Amino acid sequence: MAENNPSDREEMRKLFHEAYSKWKSDKEDNRLSIKSDVVYNEIIETFRKKACGRQLSTKEYNWLSRFECVWLNGKEVLQHKRKTVIKESSLFNLLYDVHLNLGHSGRDGMLHELK
């Protein structure tokens, strides 16, 4: 089974990233609830800058109005309209682990679990 073989997981990761890159190239990046690691960290840093009272740019003010920064399990997590925003780097692991935990139940089971 795939969960017992690390090479299968890495092969799946490679295929996933190829498909994700193709899918993402067709989308507007700023509309996705999946953020690149750089943008995600910039948004988190904006909340820290606000707490320190430092000057913010227009883009940073827009981020502050659209996102919330909350603590979950000892980590800072971004939320947009009460839904968690994830980093691209953690996307594969999240989807793969949920898929295996649900016993390969398919798309509808995963959508329900991820909401």
Q: If 0-12 CB within 10 Å is exposed, 13-18 middle and 19+ buried, where does residue 37 land?
A: exposed
- Which pLDDT value is given to residue 30? 60
Burial of 35 (0-12, 13-18, 19+ CB in 10 A): buried
**pLDDT above 90 (res 90):** no
Please give the average per-residue pLDDT across 3-8, as a whole number. 70
**pLDDT value at residue 34:** 79
Q: What are residue 68's DSSP bridge partners? A: 79
d(CA 47, CA 78): 10
Compute the mean pLDDT over every residue in the chain, rounded to the nearest whole number: 84
Of the ranges 4-18, 26-40, 68-82, which one carries the lowest mean pLDDT score? 26-40
Give the SS3 label for residue 85: coil
Structural domain total, the chain = 1
- Confidence (pTM): 0.75
Identify the domain containing residue 72 by its residue range. 2-114
If you count DSSP H runs as helices and E runs as strands, how many of each does the chain have, helices first?
5, 5
Comparing CA positions, the residue from 51, 54, 58, 100 lying closest to residue 76 is 51
d(CA 110, CA 96): 10
